[in-house]
Structure 1
Amino acid sequence: MEYSYPLDLSWTPDEMVAVVDFLAAIEKSYESKIDTDELKQKYDRFKQVCPGKAEENNIYKDFKKVSGYDGYPVIKKMKEQLTAGKSQAISMEKL
């Protein structure tokens, strides 16, 4: 990893940690796999810091620019699995 996470300097240190943990979970879904429940927990904490959809989308866009990883499809897949009652690992790796 040779890039910086998109952070807002007005966030508290705990809020920055929550956002970085969430973005690291997005990375993990692309590089290997992540448990749906673990991702949901990190996403819920992220949403406490960034409750608005526009802010969430801006962070996804900024993160994709620097990393190449898009958070939107990961969260969409997580929500689909949870709605279907599945709790399996999410992997966005290309086969």
Structure 2
Amino acid sequence: MEYSYPISIDWSTDEIIIVIQFFEAIEKVYEKGVQRAVLMEKYRKFKLVVPSIGEEKKVFREFEDVSGYSAYHAVKKMKDASDKDFIQL
């Protein structure tokens, strides 16, 4: 992709990698689909880096602005799906 992921200068290198891996999984949800368990694990790790709802909304909005992909809709679909579902938007 030809855009920058939203990152914070306060995050460590490992935390930045976790956030980028989560957003790469969101891209896959839109482009070809992802197993729910895979997305759930990426989201669980993302929440360790971005624990507050307010910061999550801010980062999701920044990602959607640059990519056109809604992390919110992908996460909502993931939460509504059953364990063995394949998530695709």
State the TM-score, normalizing by the size of structure 1: 0.91
Aligned Cα root-mean-square deviation (Å): 0.7
1:53-72 mapped onto 2 (5 Å cutoff): 53-72=53-72
Q: What's the secondary structure of 1:8's corresponding residue?
A: coil
* Aligned: 1:88 with 2:85: yes
Once the two structures are superposed, what CA deviation does each residue of 1:6-34 show, in whole Å capped at 9, x if it has no partner? 00011000000000000000000001100
Q: What's the secondary structure of 2:69's corresponding residue?
A: coil
Residue number in structure 1 paired with 2:74 = 74
Residue number in structure 1 paired with 2:22 = 22
**Structure 1 residue runs of 4 or more that deviate by more than 4 Å after TM superposition:** none
Distance 1:70 1:55 in 2: 15
State the TM-score, normalizing by the size of structure 2: 0.97
1:87 Cα deviation from its structure 2 partner: 1.8
Distance 1:43 1:9 in 2: 20
Gaps of 5+ in 1: none
1:86 Cα deviation from its structure 2 partner: 3.8
Gaps of 5+ in 2: none
Q: What's the secondary structure of 2:78's corresponding residue?
A: helix
* Aligned: 1:5 with 2:5: yes
Q: What's the secondary structure of 2:10's corresponding residue?
A: coil
Q: What's the secondary structure of 1:7's corresponding residue?
A: coil
Aligned length: 89
1:55 Cα deviation from its structure 2 partner: 0.5
Larger Cα Rg: Structure 1 or Structure 2?
1
